[in-house]
Amino acid sequence: MNQALNLFRPIRAIIEFLGGLTFLLLDTAVTIPGALLSKRGRRLGWQNLWSQMDRVGVKSVPIVALVLFCIGAILALQMAPILRDYGKIDSVADVISVAIFRELGPLVSAIVLTGFAGASIAAEMGTMVVSEEIEALEAHAINPIRFLVVPRVLATTIMMVCIAIIGDTAGIIGGLSVGQWFLGINHQQYVTHTFDILKLKDFVTGLVKAGVFGALISGQACYLGLSVTGGAQGVGSATTRTVVYTIVALITVDLIFTSAFYFLGL
């Protein structure tokens, strides 16, 4: 009996986590229209939203651009020997463009944003719980979801899409730089191949993933932060779990999206 309970305990924990996260995201989605359209005094704090967008988005642009630039350069160097054997060295641009726009751009940007912003949000929310600031908001009839969660989810979702576009561009530039300087590919050829191979669906599917990734990062960070118990140690634990859980969730969701797009022919 004890062995059976030990076996189902992790499954129960996973179900509880997914259920709690789902309810938080649904509550946030229901609260957003009222926060945006309600009367003065109960509206979303726009200054708070701009501040969150700056913190989670603008400040993460340099590191995301650097990482994607390097990935584009690495892909060019790795693919060049194989494609040169087939006389298709110009097709380096084709491979990099599709890989960056459909997969690596949104996913790598989201993983970087998880460490850059997700952990910060979880620590911030956890500290508020420990210092009883959440209870203080509720005592003043202020909904913590509207006041704390909605701005962070909106900011992360919006900026994740913007960052993915910047990351895509940086990845293409990285491949172009290596192609021109080391592989002997003329920059006009590289650009022509890039625009010839890319379709609108490649761009759109990547942005859809980016938006979902942004909501997932902020949703998990807020949920784990609000679930903190045990003081400062609990805050540290929530921060660590946020990074680990979110990276696993991002890769899993990316697999689901890629499979769905494949079977739908997108």
| CA 131/CA 207 separation, integer angstroms | 38
What's the confidence (pLDDT) of residue 65?
A: 92
What's the confidence (pLDDT) of residue 71?
A: 92
What's the confidence (pLDDT) of residue 43?
A: 57
In tens digits, the chain (266 residues) has pLDDT values of 556 556 677 777 778 878 888 888 888 888 777 767 666 545 566 777 788 888 888 888 899 999 999 999 998 888 888 888 777 787 788 888 888 998 888 999 999 988 888 888 888 888 888 887 777 777 777 778 888 888 888 889 999 999 999 999 999 999 888 888 887 778 888 888 888 888 888 888 889 999 999 999 988 988 888 888 777 787 888 888 888 989 999 999 999 988 888 888 77
| CA 261/CA 252 separation, integer angstroms | 14
Structural domains counted in the chain: 1
What's the confidence (pLDDT) of residue 247?
A: 92
35 domain-assigned: no
Q: Which of 158, 142, 133, 128 is nearest to 52 (CA)?
A: 158
Helices 231-264 and 105-113 pack at an angle, to 10 degrees, of 170
246 domain-assigned: yes
131 domain-assigned: yes
143 domain-assigned: yes
178 domain-assigned: yes
Q: Which of 202, 169, 176 is nearest to 190 (CA)?
A: 176
40 domain-assigned: no
3 domain-assigned: no
88 domain-assigned: yes
What domain range includes position 206?
45-264
Q: Which amino acid is at 210?
A: A
For the chain, how big is the Rg over CA atoms in Å?
A: 21
- CB-based contacts of 226, cutoff 8 Å, min separation 6: 24, 125, 126, 129, 134, 144, 149
